[in-house]
Chains A and B, each alone.
Chain A
Amino acid sequence: MLKLPTFSARTIAVGYGVVSLLVLAMFAGPLWYAWHTNVEQVRTELLRSDAQRLANLFTRSGEQALANAIDSQVIGTNDGVRKIMLLAAPDGSRIAGNLSAWPQGLPDRDGLCSSTIHVDGKARRIEAMRVILPGGYRLLVASNLNRFDELERLFVYGLLACALTVLVGAILGGMLIRRALLERVQGISQTTAAIIEGKLSRRLPEPHDGEELRLLTVTVNRMLDQIEQLVTSVQDVSNSIAHDLRTPLSELRARLEELAITRPDTEETFAEIDAAITDIDRVMGIFQALLRLAEIDSGSRRNGFVEVDLARLGAEVTEFYLPVAELKEIDLSFHGGDALTVVGDPLLIAQALSNLVENALKYAPEHGAIAVSAQREAGDVLALSVADDGPGIAEDERPKVVERFYRVDGSRGTPGVGLGLSVVSAVARLHGGSLRLDDNAPGLRATLALPVHKLSARSDNPDAASGTAVRA
């Protein structure tokens, strides 16, 4: 666990250092180059023009004038002196200038040269221009290179200091990042370890700074919420399955066992067998509903989405249940106008609406009324709703009735497996919509709200145009 943060912090520090040094080199290199070439160029040109000017003076005004001019321009030979000039007689003896004698080590030719000479016992790097004047007089005009030494040294030291600062900064930064990362990762890993041990309610602490980590933390926490909900619902479902399957199965077992023990006459045996088959059908019904729920929740049905006209679908489902309502003398009516098209699974939406209507039929009193309607709720939300005038559902019960196998107290005696509203809710989720349960004062108004999605890439689907159900 410790290896990863160490590695990443070190990588960050090394990367930061390398990049900083690169930037420094990219900045200093050209500067150094430009400075050097420029200074050299200027220096060489100065030397040339100086030598030319002095030679001209000699030709024009003679030896004494040149000597005076040189002596007026240069004094001394200390470290900071810029110019070195010397006028020497043909035999090499000094006439004027700040050198005592013609220096050793200069090449014996005219023109530019770089050399090191000794002046007053000190070595001096110079760039020199030698000119032989008429009459054998020798003129030396030179530039003292040593006076740049200090500047170059400062430049290099500055550069080194910069590099050092950058490196120290990188190391410190790396250590800090590593510590911060470690702290946070340790927080995450401790929480995760707790979750692995089964404390599903634990959540990652949300950091106050650092958008990236906060984002990650929030996402992970949302995932944990979902996992906790799933685990809880799986537990609930297991308990409910155990309960709801055990009841018909134990009835069935009792029935068969009694049959085996008492061995009644043929007539009664057949009646018991029929009852046993009914028990099994009930178990199968629960299984089928659970499988259907799992299929819906897996989202695989989205592949078969087509355009569905909710108004037509609502009218058809209402018509389907009309005879049942008439039998119970319930006024079942449909209210809807123009086509209301959503993209979805017509089979599932029809099943969802059927479940709502069947629920209403189950709970509406005789001579009651059930109103099915299709309408536009908001700009892009369409809704199918079923309103009855039955007993309704108490407000605190409403979220629970959507849960699997939940049945309102007192409804245990009525047929049904307690999965109807779960299926409706799952169908709503599959379509990105929702199931709302409101007070119809009196009674219950169940609304299946579905957002309109355009059928984009799937418009080539032949079923899309007609809006008819897929034949399966």
Chain B
Amino acid sequence: MKLLLVEDNERVARFVCKGLAEAGHTVDHADNGRDGMYHAVSEPYDAIVMDRMLPGGIDGLAIVEALRQQGNRVPILVLSALDGVDDRILGLKRGGDDYLVKPFAFGELLARLDALMRRSQVQTADTTLALGDLSVDLLAHKVTRAGAAIALQPREFKLLEYLLRHANQVVTRTMLLENVWDYHFDPQTNVIDVHISKLRQKIDAPFATPLLKTVRNAGYMLTDRP
């Protein structure tokens, strides 16, 4: 995937570029708003990581807005040190697809970027999701694995659906909290881990190969790859 990083902090930029390259992406980097704008309009990217406060006279959100006005629908992840809920809403309202507050864990950034790019690739209205021998009927709310029916609570079902929609991708705890429960605060307890382990009890424990894996320092991944 070809990515553009618009970020003026040299150390953060180097760290992110290196990480994204290691994850198999090609990264262009612009360290000011003017260059960022130039790159974004002149080359096709699979996703853009945009810092909000930039030198060069152009604010990151202004670039996002300009791109959207031109009809450019590239997925954009907005980075910002501003953490107010209103700042988030503003960032999304002006055309950002996701919003990540600095400082961030690299795993979080990578997971969210993958989710964004996946979303732009396939916008499916599937009625069934499947991974390996696990299959979920979204209409009938039925879960089966290797032919055996599994009974899930409504929220567990939603959690599994989200994991399945992002199968083979790292999903962070914050992403789960925001997308499955619609909560936007950090619980002080490991409540997400407990929910995951409960789900694991139901979909993995009775079977030989586990699907729901823990990714160290990042989150979880539902995958049938070893």
Interface residues of A (CB under 8 A from B): 274, 277, 280, 284-285, 288, 291-292, 295, 300-301, 304, 316, 319-321, 323-324, 327, 347, 350-351, 354, 358, 361-362, 415-416, 420, 468-472
Contact = CB atoms under 8 A, between A and B. Distances in A.
5 contacts: A295-B86, A321-B191, A323-B191, A347-B185, A354-B187
Given A288-B186, A347-B185, A420-B188, A470 B84 contact: no
B182 A471 contact: yes
A324 B188 contact: no
Given A347-B185, A471-B182, A472-B184, A295 B84 contact: yes
B189 interface: yes
A284 B89 CA distance: 21
B103 A284 contact: yes
A320 B85 contact: no
B38 interface: no
Given A274-B217, A285-B186, A354-B185, 11 more contacts: A280-B103, A284-B103, A323-B195, A324-B190, A324-B191, A327-B194, A350-B185, A468-B182, A472-B85, A472-B88, A472-B184
B158 to A, nearest CB: 11
B13 to A, nearest CB: 20
B92 to A, nearest CB: 7
Nearest to B199: A323
Contact of B185 (A321, A351, A362): A351
B187 A358 contact: yes
B184 A358 contact: no
B189 A358 contact: yes
Contact of A472 (B89, B181, B189, B194): B89
B89 A320 contact: no
B198 interface: yes
B188 A416 contact: yes
B188 A358 contact: yes
Interface size range on B against A: 20 to 34
Interface of A is mostly: helix
A9 B194 CA distance: 75
Contacts of A280: 103
Given A284-B103, A324-B189, A361-B189, A347 B184 contact: yes
Interface of B: 83-86, 88-89, 92, 103, 105, 155, 181-191, 194-195, 197-198, 217
Contacts of A277: 105
A174 B98 CA distance: 69
Contacts of A420: 188
A324 B181 contact: no
Nearest to B181: A320
B182 A469 contact: yes
A321 B194 CA distance: 9
A351 B183 contact: yes
Nearest to A289: B186
Nearest to A294: B84
Nearest to B155: A319
Nearest to B103: A284
B85 A291 contact: no
A351 B43 CA distance: 42
A461 to B, nearest CB: 13
Nearest to B191: A324
List the 9 shortest-distance A-B pairs measured between CB atoms, nearest first.
A323-B194, A351-B185, A472-B88, A469-B182, A323-B198, A324-B194, A295-B84, A324-B191, A472-B89
A425 to B, nearest CB: 16
A321 B195 CA distance: 9
User: Counting chain A CB atoms within 10 Å of each CB, which of B86, B187, B191, B194 scores highest?
Assistant: B191
A330 B85 CA distance: 33
A285 B89 CA distance: 21
A436 B217 CA distance: 39
Contacts of A284: 103
A451 B151 CA distance: 40
Contacts of A470: 89
A415 B188 contact: yes
Contacts of A471: 182
A300 to B, nearest CB: 6
B83 A288 contact: yes
A49 to B, nearest CB: 95
Contacts of B155: 319-320
Nearest to B154: A319
B131 to A, nearest CB: 23
B214 to A, nearest CB: 15
Nearest to B101: A288
Contacts of B185: 292, 347, 350-351, 354
For A288, A362, A420, A471, the residue with the greatest tally of chain B CB atoms inside 10 Å of its CB is A471
Contact of B183 (A288, A350, A358, A468): A350
A267 to B, nearest CB: 15
B92 A472 contact: yes
A320 B84 contact: no
A400 to B, nearest CB: 20
A257 B129 CA distance: 51
A347 B92 contact: no
Contacts of A324: 189-191, 194
A347 B85 contact: yes
Contacts of B194: 323-324, 327
Contacts of A351: 183-185
A347 B188 contact: no
Contacts of A354: 183, 185, 187
Contacts of A291: 83-84
Nearest to A301: B85
Nearest to A320: B181
Contact of A347 (B183, B186, B191): B183
Contacts of A300: 84, 86
A43 to B, nearest CB: 88
